[in-house]
Every structure is written in structure tokens, then in C-alpha cells.
Amino acid sequence: MVVLSSISRGVEPAAGRSGRRPMPHPMDHVLAAVPVFWLAIFFLAPLGFTVVFSFGHATFGGVEPGFTFDNYRMALSGFYGATFARTLVFALSASGLCLVAAFPVAYFIARHTQRRRNLAIGLILIPYFSSFLIRVMSLQMLMSRGGVAEAVLNALRWHQGPLDVLDTQTAVFIGMVYAYLPIAIVPLYVVLDRIPGPLLEASRDLGASRWRTFLFVTLPLSRPGIATAALLTAVPMLGEMVIPKLLGGSRGVLMGQAIAAQYLQAQNYPLGSAMAVLVLVLVAILVTVLARLTKGFAEVGR
Amino acid sequence: MTRHPILPSSSLSRRSVLRLLGAFPAAAAAATVVSGASRARAAATGQLNIYSWPDYFSTESLAAYARKTGVTPNIATYDSDDTLFAKLNSPAGAGFDIVIPGSSWIKQLAARGLLQEIDHARLNLGSLDPNLLNRGYDPGNKYSIPKDWGLLGVVYDPQAVGGEIKTWEDFFKAGEKPDVSGKIRLSDSGWETIGPALWLEGKDWNTASVAEIRAAGARLKTFAKHVKSFSGLDANALANGSIVLAQTNQAKARAAIGLNPALKWVVPGPTSELWVDNYAIVKNAPNLDQAYDFLAYQLQPDVQLAETQYIGFPAALAGLRDRIGADVKNADLIFGGKDLDFKALTSFVVNPQTVGTYSQVQAEIQAAAG
């Protein structure tokens, strides 16, 4: 929620310009209380436990309350520290790849679909009606030996013989980009759609080429969309477990798997909690950086 | 510990999907909410609450039990023994009557006071295979009754491997060959990957020290570069040659051999794993009488046979092999092969001192393969 509100401020310039705020209705407080209670019970309370656990001492399948930084020391050193760093690099690169793939699609929908726009958006979102797991499983079948991808690539003569892409990092990246593409496209589309046409015309009238217009007008104005898309893809990728398991053969452990292993296999709740808190801190840093990027955006109106 | 068979015909079988859905936290959470509500009402009427692996009871036997007694067991599912332990060890674990823990976790569950002792006067274990009774993980079967069992073995393509595999040493040697490297599947469980290296050094995986586990793990970390996957094994991957050497259980091996009869199965020496999934009764089971009644029903030979056919792993019934009809293909494989030596098998027992090491070294092995 913190994430969304801080970013959406940039996406909705109207809120910054209106100046006057309407008086809050008493009912508004009641409406606001519902999500606040929900978050307090199902988000803040568990988070509080996690933080408390992360300073405790491990007993097998339990926690002795205490105050020690040992768990954090362990989570940041040696193997787990390396896993942490690898996860960050992985999430950022997969998220970057996702954005690179999403931008042209969003651009096309915003500029070139006219009346078929709803259809285009619908086509992007339809896969979301099926379970995430089913979609990844389907991808696994497509990419396996003797699968459709192999047949198509062979028919196009881009590849000869059996295709062994499954259980590689390539397959994990393909899966990540595929799974998170729609959530990158939608915020980018929203922001590209809001860029006023007259601005682009003005740029062209002043002699800028299409490329320069894109670089100096469109791209800077789509910063909030880029930031939102980056956040919405990178954050879940930091904890991604299913795609590496189904498409990557569980090779090259990421933080999500490491945390789950501490909680379940090793029954070491404090170490698992410390790792989880560190991921959360990382997310907070990402949010701050991206919020910075979109700062002052409200002033650029239509 | 991926021990569940996938139907030979397709990689996307109903079971594998269910299992994955079971593994998915949101689905698990939803299942918890639903089962929690129904469990709260359970004690009043004749009911029974089972917490088990997914799809681990024959639907026909369950239906027959419901016809006979008017009680349809409520079954909630987990996807690993660790999950079972974590849940029973928390307030969310209240209300279950019967759970199906693996042999490795019985001792820890009992030590935590999460299981109750089984009243042997109320059940007759006389029909069960003595090989599966009174084993090290639960002497005297104080807390557990064997439900079904499986093995850690190896399925391989003799042509790619270029010979026969008899020991774990053969397994590691074969993995380094150019035709095999990069087409290997290892277990995702630390003790199942490191165990073979310990056994080759004459060590017991239940008594090995942290240093010994790390030393044996070092061999696996070197070996990791040959490994393609640590995820659940797909029988199709073995059939189409993308994997030619795999650690797995006998049911998965049987599925793969059903698809490609050229493949071979072996339980390598000097030692390998026998795991047993067990019926156990939860400490404060609200429907205790119903639980005993259900267990007595499950232990009947006819039901045991139906269970074996349904889940693909052998029930614990003595002489079960002779009851399997001649029409069942590769029936010996259900029992791990014709001349399985139970004396060469060992069952893992989770030890709080070392289980974290097994888990961490496994993570390091998987990372080394990346």
C-alpha cells in the first residue's frame, strides 16, 4: 500500500493541481478504518512478529525471545549474503528486461490502437484469468523437449534438433518476463496515454525528430509509469519461488527459496525472519529510490 | 522427498497440478480457512479430520467408508513433512485427528508432544509386513503405523551411462561422463543428496557430525556442475532423454520405465533410503474413536490393495506382492524390484543438531549448480 500510494501521486497530476480539498465526510473515516484494521491484523501484526523473531534465539521449531544481531550477521555473511546479492541482481535484471519488453507494447496500445484499445488491453489481461501456476506449468510444457517451442523453432530453421532450454537460467528469465509482463504494460500504458498530444506536436513543430521527441518528451514524461512498473515487477521477483523451481530446475538458489528453507526444513525461524526483514528493507530502499525519481512530477500537467 | 508418482501419460497430470496448487501459499491459506471452519464443527457429529499429502487416499475406499459409517473424512493437505511439522507445532494445527508424517519426522513430532501413543489393543497390526514395523525411527511403533513406503534409488539410461550402476560410487562416476553430464536430476532434500556420499565413506546419516556432513557435501558441490535439475522429476523428461540419470523413488521410476522400457532402476549400494509414511494420531484428537475406526478400516487387506493401486506406492500389508494381478505391468517395480534387501536400507531421522546443516548444504549445492 505504501508502495502504491507513493507512486500513484506521480501518476495522478490532477490531485496536485486542484489545490482545494473537500471537507472529509464522517463516513470517510469509517471507510478508511476497514482497510486500516485489515492491514493492522493481517500485515502489521505478522510483520511485528517477524521483526521480534529476527532478534531472538533459535530453538528447533521455536523462538526464544532475546536481543541479538547474530541472525542478521548470518543472513548477510557468506553464502546467504551472496544469495541476497544474487537475488537483487536477478530481480533488477529480470524487471529491467520486463520493462524493455513492455514499453513498446504499451506505446503501441497508447498511440496506435484507437477504437480497438479495449480489445488490446483485454488481450493483455486475459491470461490473468487463469492461475499463475497453471500459466507457468503451461510454459514448462511448451519449452520441454518435444514441445511446441522446439517444433516451431525447428520449422523456422532457427534451431536444429532437440531444444534443451528447460531447467536453465534462460528459461527462468523467459518465465519471469512472461509472468510479469502485463503488470508492467498496464502502468506504462496509463502514463503514455496521458501524455498530451499538443506537447508532442509542439516538439515536432520546433524541429525535433521523432527520436528526439521520444527521448526528450515521451520518455521523461513516462517516468512515473516506469517507476511503478519497475516496482510492481521487481518486488515480487525478489521473493519468487515457483518459476525457478518449475523452469530453472531449482538451480542457483534465490532468497525466496532460502527463506522458505529456513522456516520449514531447518525450522530456524529467527534466521528466516532476519532474511525476510532484510528483503523488506531492500524493498523500502527501492521504493524510496523510485519515489525520488518521480518527485516533482505533479508539476508537469497536461 | 518428492515421492509422488506422476501418471505416465502426461506431465500435467491431475495429481501434479493438485500438488502444485497445494504448494501454492494462497491456495494453502484458502484451504486452511475452509478446513478450520469445518473442523470447528467437527467434534459434535461423527466426523474425522485428516491432514495428509494430497491425493493420498483412494477415493473409492473413502466413499466405501462413508457408505459404511456415514462419515466422510475431511482431508486437508500439505506438500512436505516440514509443513506438517510447522502447522501441528502452531495453533493452526488444532482439530486434526489423523496425520500422515514421514518416518523422518515422527521422532520430532512425538518429542514435541504433538502425537499421542497408539493403543495397540484397539488395532491389529498382525497383517503388516514385519520389515516395516519396529524400525529405528519409532521403536515398538509407539506413535506410528506404516501406511506405505518408498525408496531412494536411481533410474538411468544404460546406453548413455555406458554400463550398469550398482553403487552410489558408480552413480557419481557415471555423472561425470560427457553423455550424462548436464542431464542429471538430484533430490531437493539435503539428506538424500548428501546421504550417498556419507554412505560411501561408511558413515551413518543419522549420526554424522556437522563437519562430516559438510565434508560429504563438498563432494556434491563439485558434482553439482553436472546437475540439470533439483525439482520434482517429470517421467517424460526421462522418457525423452533430457534427463538420463536421476535420483528418485520407485514409483516415478516405474512411470518412466512404462514410457521408455530401455530405462533401468536400481537401489544402489552400499546403503540407500527407505522412507515410510505413517498413520499417526494427533495429541488432542477430537474424534478419537472415529480415528481408530478409520484406521482399522484402512488396515484391512482389501483396502490396502486398493490404496496401493490408487497411490502407486505399496501399502504396508505383508504378502501384498502376491495379491497384485498379473495384468499390472512392471509390478515388481512397485516394490522396488525383485530382490530388495531391507537390511541395506536406512531411514532418516531428523535431528535438530544437523538438519539445518543438511538444509544449508543442499542450498549451497543447488547454488553451485546455478
Query: Residue B29 domain-assigned?
Result: yes
The pLDDT of residue A253 is: 86
Choose between B121 and A129: higher pLDDT: B121
Residue B348 grid coordinates: 532418516
**Together in a domain, B127 and B79:** yes
CB A252 within 8 A of CB B367: yes
CB B105 within 8 A of CB B53: no
Window 172-231 of A, Cβ < 8 Å to B: none
Task: Give me the residue spans of the domains in chain A.
Answer: 2-10+27-299
**Together in a domain, B226 and B354:** yes
Query: Residue B6 domain-assigned?
Result: no
Instruction: Give residue B88's domain range.
Output: 14-149+276-331
Residue B24 to residue A13: CA distance in whole angstroms: 38
**Together in a domain, B208 and B229:** yes
pLDDT of B76 > 90? The answer is yes
Residue B217 to residue B220: CA distance in whole angstroms: 5
The pLDDT of residue A161 is: 85
How sure is the predictor about A218, in pLDDT bands with cuts at 50, 70 and 90?
very high
Place of cell 475406526: B293
B17 touches chain A (CB under 8 A): yes
Interface touch B230/A251, C-beta < 8 Å = yes
Q: Which residues of A touch B24 (CB under 8 A)?
A: 132-133, 242
String of DSSP letters for A259-291:
HHHHHTTS--HHHHHHHHHHHHHHHHHHHHHHH
Question: What is the domain count for chain B?
Answer: 2
**Closest residue of chain A to B17, computed from CA coordinates:** A134
CB-based contacts of B172, cutoff 8 Å, min separation 6: B196, B197, B219, B223
Q: Which amino acid, B262?
A: A
CB A60 within 8 A of CB B352: yes
**Closest residue of chain A to B352, computed from CA coordinates:** A60
CATH for A2-10+27-299? 1.10.3720.10
Residue among B190, B231, B363 minimizing CB distance to A245: B231
What is the least distance, in Å, from the CA of A141 to any CA of chain B? 8
Q: Which residues of A touch B239 (CB under 8 A)?
A: none
The pLDDT of residue B350 is: 96
B24 touches chain A (CB under 8 A): yes
Interface touch B359/A262, C-beta < 8 Å = yes
Q: Residue A285: exposed, middle, or buried by beta-carbon count in 10 A (0-12, 13-18, 19+)?
A: exposed
The pLDDT of residue A297 is: 63
Query: Residue B4 domain-assigned?
Result: no
The pLDDT of residue A298 is: 55
Give the angle subtended at the CA of B267 by the CAs of B262 and B270, to the nearest 5°: 135
The pLDDT of residue A38 is: 92
**What's the whole-number mean pLDDT along residues A89-102?**
95
Interface touch B228/A253, C-beta < 8 Å = no
CB-based contacts of A148, cutoff 8 Å, min separation 6: A141, A142
Residue among B20, B362, B370 minimizing CB distance to A251: B370
A252 touches chain B (CB under 8 A): yes
Residue A11 grid coordinates: 501518476
CB-based contacts of B56, cutoff 8 Å, min separation 6: B77, B100, B277, B311
Residue among A61, A146, A251 minimizing CB distance to B240: A146
pLDDT digits (tens, 9 = 90+) for B63-75: 999 999 999 999 9
Q: Which residues of B touch A144 (CB under 8 A)?
A: 11, 234, 236-237, 240, 242
Give the angle subtended at the CA of B346 by the CAs of B341 and B351, to the nearest 5°: 175
CATH of the domain at B122: 3.40.190.10
Q: Which residues of A touch B20 (CB under 8 A)?
A: 133, 137, 246
Tell me whether 0.95 is exceeded by the ipTM.
no
Residue B95 to residue B283: CA distance in whole angstroms: 10
Interface touch B11/A141, C-beta < 8 Å = yes
Peptide bond into A244 cis (omega under 30): no
Average pLDDT, whole number, for chain A?
87
pLDDT of A96 > 60? The answer is yes
**Together in a domain, B136 and B168:** no
Q: Which amino acid, A214?
A: F
Contact pairs from chain A to chain B, CB under 8 Å: 115
Residue A269 grid coordinates: 525461524
Residue B190 to residue B205: CA distance in whole angstroms: 11
Residue B304 to residue B293: CA distance in whole angstroms: 15
pTM: 0.85
pLDDT digits (tens, 9 = 90+) for B304-353: 999 999 999 999 999 999 999 889 999 999 999 998 999 999 999 999 99
How sure is the predictor about A237, in pLDDT bands with cuts at 50, 70 and 90?
very high
Query: Residue B336 domain-assigned?
Result: no
Continuous segment of H or E residues that includes residue B152: none
CA distances from B120 to A80, A217, B296 (A): 47, 80, 11
B363 touches chain A (CB under 8 A): yes
Residue among A242, A250, A264 minimizing CB distance to B230: A250
B12 touches chain A (CB under 8 A): yes
A264 touches chain B (CB under 8 A): yes
What is the least distance, in Å, from the CA of A69 to any CA of chain B? 19
Q: What percent of chain B has pLDDT over 70?
A: 88
**Together in a domain, B155 and B223:** yes
CB B228 within 8 A of CB B183: yes
Interface touch A83/B363, C-beta < 8 Å = yes
Interface touch B369/A264, C-beta < 8 Å = no
pLDDT of B123 > 70? The answer is yes
Residue B102 to residue B275: CA distance in whole angstroms: 7
Q: Which residues of B touch A132 (CB under 8 A)?
A: 24
Residue A130 to residue B224: CA distance in whole angstroms: 35
Q: Which residues of A touch B112 (CB under 8 A)?
A: 61
Residue among A144, A250, A252 minimizing CB distance to B188: A250
pLDDT digits (tens, 9 = 90+) for A146-193: 889 999 999 999 888 888 899 999 999 999 999 999 999 999 999 999
Interface touch A162/B231, C-beta < 8 Å = no
Share of chain B residues as helix, strand and coil, in percent rounded to the nearest 5:
45, 15, 40
The pLDDT of residue A30 is: 86
Residue among B24, B108, B229 minimizing CB distance to A133: B24
What is the least distance, in Å, from the CA of B216 to any CA of chain A? 18
If we measure between CA atoms, which residue out of A188, A211, A213 comes closest to residue A198? A213
What is the least distance, in Å, from the CA of B145 to any CA of chain A? 24
What is the least distance, in Å, from the CA of A88 to any CA of chain B? 15
Interface touch A83/B352, C-beta < 8 Å = no
pLDDT digits (tens, 9 = 90+) for A254-302: 899 899 999 998 999 999 999 999 999 999 999 999 888 777 665 444 4
**Together in a domain, B142 and B169:** no
CB A83 within 8 A of CB B367: yes
**Closest residue of chain A to B351, computed from CA coordinates:** A60
Which pairs with CB-CB distance under 8 Å and at least 24 residues apart come from B233-239? Answer: B233/B2, B233/B185, B234/A144, B234/B6, B234/B11, B235/B6, B235/B8, B235/B11, B235/B259, B236/A144, B236/B10, B236/B11, B237/A144, B237/A145, B237/A166, B237/B11, B237/B185, B238/B155, B238/B157, B238/B263, B239/B263
B208-233 CB burial, b ≥16 within 10 A, e <16: beeebbbbbbebbbebbebbbbbbbb
**Together in a domain, B247 and B138:** no
